[in-house]
Structure 1
Amino acid sequence: MAPTAGRSHSIVYAPKIQDLLTREEKVFRIDARTVGVSDCELMAEIVAARPVRSAERSVYKPAAGADIHHDNATRTIRALGQDVMAGIRTPPPPARGLSGAWPYAATSYLRRWLFASDPLPVSLLSRRGVTRSDRLSRIVDRAVTVWPGSAAEGRSTALAGQIRDASGARERRQAIALYRRSTATLCDGVAALAGNALWLMGPDREREDARADLTEVLWETLRLLPPAWMLFRNDGRAYTGLHPEIRPEDRVALFPLLMHRDPKHWSDPLEFRPERWAGVADPEKTPGFMPFGFDGARCWAKHLVVPLAERLLNVAFDHRLAIRGPRQETHVPLRSLLSVRFDAAARA
């Protein structure tokens, strides 16, 4: 099922992902409590059957003992958009930050690019070394709750401003949670998308004109290796009338990864063909394509992902980022974000 035939690159998926890729049925039981769905029409019906719940959203699940209100979520989206657009317009950090193990090197690079201007300890909220440790995260959260910095300290992000301007301890703790979740979700997702694109391009990325069609490359990467490859709905009661396999006690797993390989919607579905997006004015309206979710449950940062990934890839090409290992075959582990793993080195 390697999607890079003919480009001298292949992918080895984690066994559970490989098992999904070999299934021919569009609705199937994964375990005693989980049903998998890859049928385009049924997925749309499931998403439309009820609104997505806060607990099913990674960014906007409850924090500090309370739900995230819609107004807070909207302000966070707007603030993040301001910060990303401002970051894209600023010079990127030194390219040596892109060297190392991907996607982790790219994640750290993006966080430094977009959020390093925030005062301590706010900037620590997005540091990978902190976010990987529950203990360090709790320490930093408490420190930011007590001292989130001040407007007098100079430039900071709009997201940091939401923490600083929060009234009351609960509102500040929620602003801290939203800062951490939104920066992590954006940077991790963009790093995974850019890394997947670099790998899928294979030797073609070394051509002089490699960056000419990066937007098309990214849309094709979102089709073949979408970082958000699975969506969960936790309660099957709203879906039992949609398909006999779904029971009230079931969880439902929706798989864009499988739908994007359906030959009903795609010619040569396993082939990496960026040219299929040439002249497509609105890729998200393409049948059988769900890179950011369906109407009513779309990714809150979808308008930021492709422009930021394209900017990151341009930096990588400017500094002749080279994949050092593995050269021909890489692994995709079982993680919430679908991302290839490789080591890379950038020329200063």
Structure 2
Amino acid sequence: MVSAVVRDHSVVYAPRMQDLLAREEKVFRIDATTVGVSDCDLMAEIVAGRPVLATERSVYKPAAGADIPHDSATRTIRALGQDVMAGIRTPPPPARALSGAWPYAATSYLRRWLFASDPLPVSLLSKRGVTRSDTVSRIVDRAVTLWPGSDAEGKCTALAEQIRGASGTQDRKQAIALYRRATATLCDGVAALAGNALWLMGPAREQEGGARDDLTSVLWETLRLLPPAWMLFRKGGDAYTGLHPEIRPTDSVALFPLLMHRHPDYWSDPLEFRPERWAGVADPEKTPAFMPFGFDGARCWAKHLVVPLAESLLTVAFDNGLVIRSPRQEAHIPLRSLLSVRFDAEAAA
């Protein structure tokens, strides 16, 4: 299961990921305190075994020294949905900004498309150059805490309005953390998905003069073969010990959609990129052994936004003649929390 040759080009995984892909067992020990699982039924039982802990969530983990209240989380989801839908309806930025190293160029492009209307310093919260520096991030957070742009009512995104409308310093700090996390998680994830889809579609699309497949099916197949959220981690505990003899009370559990999505027990021609397998599938998430956004009770909070936004991004890329310049045949996937192919692309002038 290591090599996946699709349309005359392939991907090369980081060594530790290659080791995982070479596993034939569906339940296996990774190290002294971690068990890996790619068995469909066992994964469902593990997710149902207990609620997800706050510290296991990427966005709603504690911030500013306190847990994120449920109502704050709900408001953030709704605000982000409003901002994405509003952004998709507006003209996209110039496509030349998509030229460069992917997925980073796509991440910056999405942030500009969706959140550039926010006043300074709020808009800096979503800038990749800021988020890469802890020191600069703290300075920006402090600036936004003191001055959230009170004169910007009606001129900013719904997420930024959450900061402006916070009732006190603690609430504002948490709203800042949610703004930063929500924008980063969404834009990074969509950029990775779109980039993976571009690579999987491959040179054939360029040779056909930009002809495109059904983008929705392309994205669902990309979520199967190269899912950005390729691993889910659950801390150990008694809830899992009775589910499988390999799992001990002290063990944490790593769930691998990447392995499950490529296993021949669940899929025909599992390593082939075949978007047509999703034609006529009304609800792809009900497909057995398919976990692009998690199981019931632990699904991605923004799953309803990811595919439409990625489709809009790909449409902009194709309409403006975006082509992959390098590498041409073999791209590397580093060991990161998001699985994403790295390549350089160029949009038509």
Q: How does 1:139-154 map to 2 (within 5 A)?
A: 139-152=139-152, 154=154
| CA deviation after TM superposition for structure 1 residue 151, in Å | 4.3
| CA deviation after TM superposition for structure 1 residue 171, in Å | 0.3
**Contact 2:111–2:127, Cα closer than 8 Å, also in 1:** yes
**Contact 1:2–1:12, Cα closer than 8 Å, also in 2:** yes
**Contact 1:236–1:252, Cα closer than 8 Å, also in 2:** no
**Contact 2:99–2:344, Cα closer than 8 Å, also in 1:** yes
| CA deviation after TM superposition for structure 1 residue 68, in Å | 0.5
* Equivalent-residue separation in structure 2 for 1:336 and 1:139 (angstroms): 26
| CA deviation after TM superposition for structure 1 residue 233, in Å | 0.3
* Equivalent-residue separation in structure 2 for 1:184 and 1:340 (angstroms): 18
Q: Which residue of 1 aligns with 2:257?
A: 256
* Equivalent-residue separation in structure 2 for 1:171 and 1:326 (angstroms): 46
Call closer, same or farther: CA 1:168–1:148 in 2, change over 3 Å. Answer: same
**Can you give the 5+ residue segments of structure 1 that lack an aligned partner in the other structure?**
none
Which SS does the other structure have where 1:36 is aligned? strand
Q: Which residue of 2 aligns with 1:24?
A: 24
Q: Which residue of 2 aligns with 1:162?
A: 162
What is the TM-score normalised by the length of structure 1?
Answer: 0.98
| CA deviation after TM superposition for structure 1 residue 153, in Å | 6.0
Deviates more, 1:144-153 or 1:66-75: 144-153
* Equivalent-residue separation in structure 2 for 1:73 and 1:153 (angstroms): 21
Q: How does 1:92-241 map to 2 (within 5 A)?
A: 92-152=92-152, 154-206=154-206, 207-208=208-209, 210-241=211-242
| CA deviation after TM superposition for structure 1 residue 84, in Å | 0.1
* Equivalent-residue separation in structure 1 for 2:55 and 2:105 (angstroms): 30
What is the TM-score normalised by the length of structure 2?
Answer: 0.98
Q: Which residue of 2 aligns with 1:325?
A: 326
| CA deviation after TM superposition for structure 1 residue 205, in Å | 2.1
| Residue deviations 1:120-155 (CA, integer Å, cap 9, x gap) | 000000000000000000000000000010244652
**Contact 1:4–1:200, Cα closer than 8 Å, also in 2:** no
**Contact 2:9–2:202, Cα closer than 8 Å, also in 1:** yes
Q: Which residue of 1 aligns with 2:343?
A: 342
**Contact 1:35–1:251, Cα closer than 8 Å, also in 2:** yes
Which SS does the other structure have where 2:214 is aligned? helix
What is the percent sequence identity of the aligned residues?
83
* Equivalent-residue separation in structure 2 for 1:266 and 1:14 (angstroms): 24
Amino acid at match of 1:168: G
Q: Which residue of 2 aligns with 1:298?
A: 299
* Equivalent-residue separation in structure 2 for 1:137 and 1:192 (angstroms): 23
| Residue deviations 1:199-231 (CA, integer Å, cap 9, x gap) | 001123223573340100000000000000000
| Residue deviations 1:93-143 (CA, integer Å, cap 9, x gap) | 011110000000000000000000000000000000000000000000000
| Residue deviations 1:174-195 (CA, integer Å, cap 9, x gap) | 0000000000000000000000
**Contact 1:225–1:257, Cα closer than 8 Å, also in 2:** yes
* Equivalent-residue separation in structure 2 for 1:280 and 1:49 (angstroms): 29
Amino acid at match of 1:245: E
| CA deviation after TM superposition for structure 1 residue 264, in Å | 1.5
Alignment RMSD, CA only?
1.0
**Contact 1:119–1:153, Cα closer than 8 Å, also in 2:** no
* Equivalent-residue separation in structure 2 for 1:204 and 1:150 (angstroms): 51
**Contact 1:211–1:314, Cα closer than 8 Å, also in 2:** no
Q: How does 1:274-313 map to 2 (within 5 A)?
A: 274-313=275-314
Matched residue pairs, number?
347
Which SS does the other structure have where 1:246 is aligned? coil
Amino acid at match of 1:199: W
Call closer, same or farther: CA 1:242–1:292 in 2, change over 3 Å. Answer: same
Which SS does the other structure have where 1:280 is aligned? coil
